[in-house]
Structure 1
Amino acid sequence: MAHLLFITLTIALQALVPLVHSYGHANMCRSYCGNLTIDYPFALQSGCGHPGFRELLFCINDVLMLHISSGSYRVLDIDYAYQALTLHDPHMSTCDSIVLGGRGNGFVVEQWRAPYLNPTGDNVFMLIGCTAESPLFQGFPEKHLPCRNVSGMGCEEFYRCPSWNMIGPKRAGSVYGTGPPECCAVPFEAIKSINLTKLDCQGYSSAYSLAPLRVAVAGAGRWSYGIRVKYSVQRNEPFCRACEATGGSCGYDTNGVNELCMCGSSNSTSNCDSVHSSSCRGTWTLVHTLAGFLICMIVWMKSQYS
């Protein structure tokens, strides 16, 4: 019986030691969805990350989804070094398939998120089947159309894709003949919002390139199709550095404005060291006291039964 109690106390002490060393130093906000790491400024938990990205990402059956006013998109990649997201819209046209009927989400972000989240400059949006009444073509043909190549990608190359064989592009329109072009390529900055309903378009495609010269040579069949979104973080750098240096994670309070340092079960307006030395002191002391008690019990039992 005494031997069994001795073994039980030893196991309890071994389980307690890691807690003593790591208490308050785990990154409580870092998480995963499938094979994607979710880290600052993003988060899946309320209060974690940057307030500008709250209620943005959701993990559904190990699939990471981004939700904005224009709809939901699958997140294919998060590039923390370049500060960019790669998104997929299942109703977006590609070189292999033209999707009409205005079913694509396009890309429209809430106004309050606009300072933090916008498509990158190398992302081209090719709007398909827009009517002559579309805002894109107001004043045509007197007014020059906004359509143009972006990073070596545009409609002239897109027209060569197999998907166009089924509907046939209006070649006359593509060179500003008797009517608007069947496809109009624009950068996001030119119109600030890809809303198929407001633009009166039947569909769209989106492609991006990190190496425009190679893409131009390869043709539209080798483009990377998707929406490449640049995110920016407006944060208090010294605050976050101090928080992360003490094992915390940058977060925000319930009003979504003030920054907080997330320190395990407690938060701080400065860093985790201040939490450990004040509000968590009682818990920290309790952990050490319990560890000391177990050590004393083990030593006493060894002296009694050796």
Structure 2
Amino acid sequence: MFPQLPADFASVVETTFKNAVASGDLIFSESERSVLKYDGYTMEVRMAPALGQKPKSAPKPDGEGAKKFNPFFPPDPKLVLGGLGDKHTLVLNKFAIVPHHFLCVTKAEESQEAPITIEDLRATWAALQEPIGTSDRTLAFFNKGKNSGASQAHKHIQFLPLDKGTELFPDKVVARTPYEAPSERDPVGQRPLKHSAIPFEHFILPLPTDPSDEELMMRFWALYHRTLQALKQNDNWEKSFNWAMTKEWVIMVPRRADEFEGISVNGTGVVGLLLAKSAAQLAQITELTAGRVLTEVGFPVGPNTEAHYDY
């Protein structure tokens, strides 16, 4: 059974965000949006200078070797949006460049390196159901491993309300090949898909409108299998990847580096929403091209191995 969002969730997010910004408990910085057009796809870059000021986890000042500060255990009550089932809490992102950016964190002190569970997938699907603010849909993303752009060690899935009209490259793939019913040859219902113009390795599956536990879990593991296969083919054993999801599709991207020439990339970047810390970095991304940056932190598209695919 899928957990239920807190009552009037969209209103709770808006009110809590507004109050937290006013009190200084949440740092919101405006960002400038640029769209980069390539042959067959587009990428968006948000330039937000405040990103360069965002701190990473630091040890508590109570002795050498002290445990790193965990902002989610417990989360700041002024940022909490409510519980989501027995295992998760919804909380606003303290450093936001997009309004209403929120997280789903485990109530237990669980590692970001721990496997994704069916409870995590249920919570993710539930949190995608209600549009927030002026957005008409939400992107969920998860950064796994030291090369993925992850910045906190406590397990958390992030949710970014998307501007109306935002088109991500998996949208085009799924529009061409929507969800199909399972078959004996393809028990998940669709073999992983790719965008023909995207130069970095990625795996996409469409989602049914009302997925069951099995449908969500099978898709995650089908993509994870393919991701591990890509890492193995490239002699990389770090098991770093980004996983992202909307109500229409789910994608996984294997990673080999956290950044390229100072340009950091997380789970938003691999679906076409890159971040720049300065005008100079925006110019750098424009010159290098987003496809080059994403290929350098990921891997070039590998050979088609569909004939050997094994769920």
Q: Whose relative contact order is higher, 1 or 2, with alpha carbons under 8 Å and at least 6 apart?
A: 1
- Normalising to structure 1: TM-score of the pair? 0.28
**Looking at CA atoms only, which structure, 1 or 2, has the larger radius of gyration?**
1
Higher helix share: 1
TM-score by length of 2: 0.28
